[in-house]
Each structure stands twice: as structure tokens, then as C-alpha cells.
């Protein structure tokens, strides 16, 4: 296969980026998945959604997970969140095994999931009140989180009165207010239009820059993954397993100009190749099988 333009090797980042990755690796591990597998019961036996996923995420790291649809991205994040129990393997949060959901792993869903009966303030206070803050304390903390996502003017609005982007900012504030060790984001901008999505990516990077938090981010958007992540976990499909973990060779802080950076394009190109030609099912093999099937039909 030949590339349309000459691109650098994504595995040989600029030295500043390499040094940064080195520093990240030295940081303590926040989340570790060991041999994570998940199988779902089906009429004809069980179907393996994920097999033997190993993943280590360091403090303040931004890790994106990408893969073709049906590769088990969402299953992976739901396992980490504790919303599903793994068939095999374990999840360790700061070295301790966790079962079931808890406030140490905040989650932002694609479908917003704001509580419609609570105002923006009420939504952000929700977790704070559950984890034992006094009402006045919770209100004060919630106000500062709402300010961080730039929605102070809408603190008393109900979710139904907000746009999609605003709702997702509330959801982020609500999750961050609990000071989770890791923030899990399941295609959070998937339901937004392209322009709002781009804006939200900028917001998220800004928030991540200002707040001490580690992020595991699921997406199906290549540009989004490369733009946001320190590392990208590329999943393979059926059964879902880690195909490759890519260190993004781009310096921080990131900005939209980097969409044209040769390293950005190289990384993006490589991931595209990975996703569109899954191992063991090369396009040539498929073509041969298809033609022989056709031949049989003709005969």
C-alpha cells in the first residue's frame, strides 16, 4: 500500500513528546485492567464481547479507546465503571480491586443522563450530597464547578431548557464534582453536531488542563481520538481485544491547527488502516472468498 503523501513515522515522536510520555509512565497507576473478558449469553451459547483486555492508565493521563462498531468499546467502559461484571479478569483502582459502580469512577454518557427533575445546580449537587457534604458546602462546591463549565447563568435552569452541548457540560461538571480518580466518557460528544462537538473538545481539554483528573475516553471518531488522547487503545472486533496501543506523537497543549500536523496525519492514517483491515480478515482474503462463492452460484 502506498501513502498519498510522505508522512513521518508515528512511532518516532518529537523529543519533547517522547519525554512527556516518559514522565507519564513514571506517574502512579490510577486504573488497571487485568485480563478483562466479557461474554454475553445468547440463544446459541455465549458470545465473547471482549477477551483478555490489559490496560494500565497513569495519573492525569488522557487515554482514548477506538475501534470499529461492535468491537466492545462501550462494554469495556461499562466494565470499568462497574455497570457490568466481567466474566473474567479484574479492575484495580489505585491498586485495589473494585466491584460495582462507585463515585471514584465518574462517568459521562452519550445520552446526557441528567436528572430531569433537578436544576443544573441540583444535578451537580447530586453526587456531593450523596458523598456526605452538608447542603451549604455542596451548594458552594457545585457553584464553582458550574462556573468552571461556564454555565453559572443557567444554574437554575432545568435540563430540558438546555442545548445538547450545555447538557453535556453539566454532565461533566456533575461527574467532576465528586472528584473521581478517573473520569470515564462513553462517546460523550457522539450526539452533538460537528461544530458543537469541536467546541466541546476544546472545553474538555481546557477542563482537563485545569483539573487534576485522569480520563478514559471512548470514541469512534479518529480525529477526536488523536486530537484529545495521550495514548490511543485500538480495539479489534469479534472478539474485542487490544490491537495496538498508540502513543500520540503530538505536543500539548493541543489546538485545532494540529489537525494538519504531519504527525497527526500519520497517526490518523495508521489507525484508519488498523480499523479498516482487521487482523485475519485482509481485504484480499475476503475478495477470494467472495469470488469463489460467486463461482459456485454460477455453476
Partner 1 sequence: MTRGAAGRAGAPWLAIRKELPGRRPAVLKAMAFVLPLVVWSAVSYLPFLWHPMILVTDPGASGFLQVDDRLPEAEFAAENAHLAAAGARAAAGVAANPIFLPAPHEVARALYTGFTTEPVRPGEPWLHQSLGHSIRIIFWGFMLAAAIGVPLGLLCGTFALFSRLVEPFTDFIRYMPAPAFGALAVAVLGIADAPKVAIIFIGTYFQMVLVIANTTRQFDPALIEAAQTLGARRSKLLTRVIVPGVLPNLYNDLRILLGWAWTYLIVAELIGATSGISYFIQQQGKYRNYDKVFAGIIVIGVVGLVTDQVLAYLARYLFPWQATALSPRERRVRRWLTALRRRAPALAPPPAPVGTGNVAAD
Asked if 241 and 53 touch (Cβ cutoff 8 Å), the reply is yes
Specify the stretch interacting with partner 1 by CB under 8 A; choose among 56-64, 103-111, 200-208, 232-240.
103-111
Of 216, 206, 175, 171, nearest to 192 by C-alpha is 171
* 135 sits near partner 1 (criterion: CB under 8 A): yes
Do the beta carbons of residue 151 and residue 169 sit within 8 Å? yes
Q: Does 45 bind partner 1 (CB under 8 A)?
A: no
Strand order in 96-97's β-sheet?
46-58, 29-41, 88-93, 96-97
Stretch that binds partner 1, among 51-59, 78-86, 244-252, 276-284 (CB under 8 A): 78-86
Residue 107 binds to partner 1 (criterion: CB under 8 A): yes
Should residue 58 be labelled a site residue for partner 1 when binding is judged by CB under 8 A?
A: no
188 binds partner 1 (CB under 8 A): no
37 binds partner 1 (CB under 8 A): no
Give the separation between CA 225 and CA 68, rounded to whole angstroms: 13
Q: For residue 268, give the H/E element and its range.
A: helix 262-276
Q: Which stretch binds partner 1 (CB under 8 A): 45-53, 132-140, 162-170, 287-295?
A: 132-140
Q: Tell whether residue 216 is a contact of partner 1 (CB under 8 A).
A: no
Give whole-number Cα distances, 131 to 25, 94, 112, 178, 179, in Å: 31, 19, 21, 8, 11
60 binds partner 1 (CB under 8 A): no
Site for partner 1, rule CB under 8 A: 81-83, 93-94, 98, 100-107, 109, 111, 113, 115-118, 126-127, 129-135, 158-160, 174-175, 178-179, 181, 184
Amino acid at each position: 500500500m502506498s501513502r498519498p503523501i510522505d508522512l513521518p513515522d508515528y512511532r518516532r515522536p518529537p523529543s519533547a513528546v517522547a519525554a512527556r510520555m516518559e514522565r507519564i509512565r513514571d506517574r502512579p497507576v490510577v486504573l488497571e485492567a487485568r485480563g478483562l473478558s466479557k461474554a454475553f449469553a445468547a440463544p446459541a451459547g455465549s458470545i465473547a464481547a471482549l477477551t483478555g483486555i490489559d490496560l494500565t492508565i497513569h495519573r492525569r493521563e488522557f487515554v482514548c479507546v477506538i475501534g470499529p462498531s461492535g468491537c466492545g468499546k462501550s462494554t469495556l467502559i461499562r466494565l470499568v465503571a462497574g455497570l457490568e461484571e466481567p466474566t473474567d479478569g479484574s479492575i484495580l483502582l489505585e491498586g485495589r480491586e473494585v466491584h460495582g459502580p462507585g463515585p471514584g469512577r465518574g462517568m459521562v454518557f452519550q445520552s446526557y443522563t441528567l436528572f430531569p427533575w433537578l436544576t443544573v445546580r441540583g444535578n451537580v449537587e447530586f453526587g456531593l450530597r450523596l458523598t456526605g457534604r452538608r447542603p451549604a458546602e455542596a451548594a458552594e462546591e457545585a457553584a464553582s464547578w458550574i462556573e468552571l463549565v461556564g454555565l453559572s447563568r443557567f444554574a437554575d435552569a432545568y435540563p430540558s431548557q438546555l442545548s445538547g452541548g450545555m447538557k453535556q457540560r453539566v454532565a461533566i461538571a456533575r461527574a467532576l464534582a465528586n472528584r473521581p480518580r478517573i473520569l470515564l466518557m462513553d462517546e460523550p460528544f457522539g450526539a452533538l453536531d460537528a461544530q458543537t462537538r469541536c467546541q466541546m473538545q476544546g472545553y474538555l481539554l481546557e477542563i482537563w488542563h485545569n483539573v487534576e483528573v485522569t480520563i478514559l475516553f471512548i470514541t469512534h471518531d479518529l480525529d477526536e481520538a488523536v486530537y484529545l488522547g495521550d495514548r490511543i487503545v485500538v480495539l479489534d472486533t469479534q472478539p474485542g481485544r487490544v490491537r495496538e496501543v498508540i502513543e500520540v506523537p503530538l505536543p500539548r497543549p493541543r489546538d485545532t491547527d494540529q489537525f494538519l500536523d504531519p504527525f497527526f496525519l500519520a497517526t490518523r492514517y495508521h489507525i484508519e488502516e488498523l480499523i479498516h483491515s482487521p487482523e485475519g480478515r485482509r481485504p484480499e482474503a475476503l475478495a477470494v472468498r467472495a469470488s469463489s462463492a460467486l463461482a459456485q452460484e454460477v455453476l
